[in-house]
Amino acid sequence: MNYFPMGDQKRAFLNAEGSDKPLKSPVPHETLLAARKYRLSRIRELLVENECGAILLYDPVNIRYAFDCSNMQVWTAHNPIRYALIFTDGPGIMFEFKSCEHLNEGLEGIDEVRIAKGWMFMGAGDRVSEFVGNWADEITDLIQQYGGGNKRLAIDRMEPEGVFALQERGSVIVEGGQITERARSIKSSEEIELMRWTIRVCEAGMARIFEHSHPGVTEQELWAHLHFENARSGGDWLETKLLTCGPNTNPWYKECSDRPCQAGEMISFDTDMIGPYGYCADLSRAWTCGHTPMNDKQKELYSAALDQVNHNLDLIKNGLSFNEFNEKSWQIPERFQPYRYSLAAHGVGMADEWPVILLHPDFEYNHGGRFETNMVVCVESLIAEKGSESIKLETQVLVTENGVERLDTFPWEL
């Protein structure tokens, strides 16, 4: 097998606007408006299916999905103080930080903005019981006003004090994660258009990584190029720090460090990028530092990884059960299994999502389900053996009636 560096093809993904300008989205505002309307309708559709009168959202990704409002999403992911209450047949209410109400202006799905009542210990201290009681009283009053007598309340995530307080006031708590995950799993055409743009920005960042993959550059310096392209083009954050080179690639999951990359070493990375419009571009690639030809072992590992991705891509189509996919999936050779990735595919939207399809050695722990048209999934591979480097590959695809459509086009190495 010959190795053909794809430098020119990769550089074509660089930001054509120039190193000092962000990428400008070509997506019409009408597309965003349609995506917002669809997403909120999906939440309400799943509430009906689960016979719930309302859903209370604390996960900032779920709030972004439902209302498209964004405010310190990383901070609120671990500080539960901003929330949304959406009724099946009633208003959508956003509970926002004081003095941040204006961040929700012009968002069609929000019928009312209220000041959030925080009750986490960091802010409430020894008054948690008092604060959580005031919060629960307000939620309960709204359920009585707009719930139509339905006291089944779905909640995506919450500390136990809040659950107990709502239950004491008559709410029947339903696990809301299943509702939001299933709602998010089926994309509209407008969502796909928004996601394509996030992927375009991600690929520009990947091209910057490639352009700077020279001997002596540190892993952290390379990772910063993806942050830079994402941030200046309107993106949000990176979920992980998975870019390593040479011996740091195996075992996988080491975070990028200040280690300088050496000529000829593999550079492997996984973007996990939350980009423009809040959508995720979850792509993985691997190439050599200095753009040198791969050695024989690198070629062998890379070829195996690409075979796994392509084989599994060919299987996916509407209606294929996860069990059948597992039975027909690429079987990882025994020598690679101790270093394997934990899964073969997973859903993706505004973050990594349901479903997760485990790799065949671990599939006994998987859940049921099947691929459906308009799901977006990532198909991936991690190939390594004792003493080798790791090759990490991943592509993002739209499930169609008869197969998949790849949404990323950044070239492979072989």
Is the predicted pLDDT of residue 208 greater than 80, yes or no?
A: yes
pLDDT in the model for residue 20: 62
50-185 CATH, one of 3.30.420.40, 3.20.20.140, 3.40.350.10, 3.30.460.10: 3.40.350.10
Closest CA to 380 of 333, 403, 338, 346: 346
For the chain, the structural domain boundaries read 50-185, 186-406
Has domain 186-406 been given CATH number 1.20.1440.230? no
**Looking at this protein, which amino acid is placed at residue 30?**
E
Section 170-181 average pLDDT: 98
pLDDT band at 1 (very low <50, low <70, confident <90, very high): very low
Section 363-382 average pLDDT: 97
Q: Exposed e or buried b for every residue in 122-147, given b needs 16+ CB within 10 A?
A: eebeeeeeebbbebbeebbebbeebb
The one-character DSSP state at 368 is P
| Alpha carbon separation from 32 to 62, 98, 183 (Å, rounded) | 16, 27, 18
- pTM score, whole prediction: 0.94
What are the tens digits of pLDDT across the range 285-329? 999 999 999 999 999 999 999 999 999 999 999 999 999 999 999
Q: Tell me if residue 200 falls in helix, strand or coil.
A: helix
Is the predicted pLDDT of residue 6 greater than 70, yes or no?
A: no
pLDDT band at 3 (very low <50, low <70, confident <90, very high): very low
What are the tens digits of pLDDT across the range 22-55? 889 999 999 999 999 999 999 999 999 999 999 9
What are the tens digits of pLDDT across the range 252-276? 999 999 999 999 999 999 999 999 9
Closest CA to 252 of 116, 159, 359, 384: 384
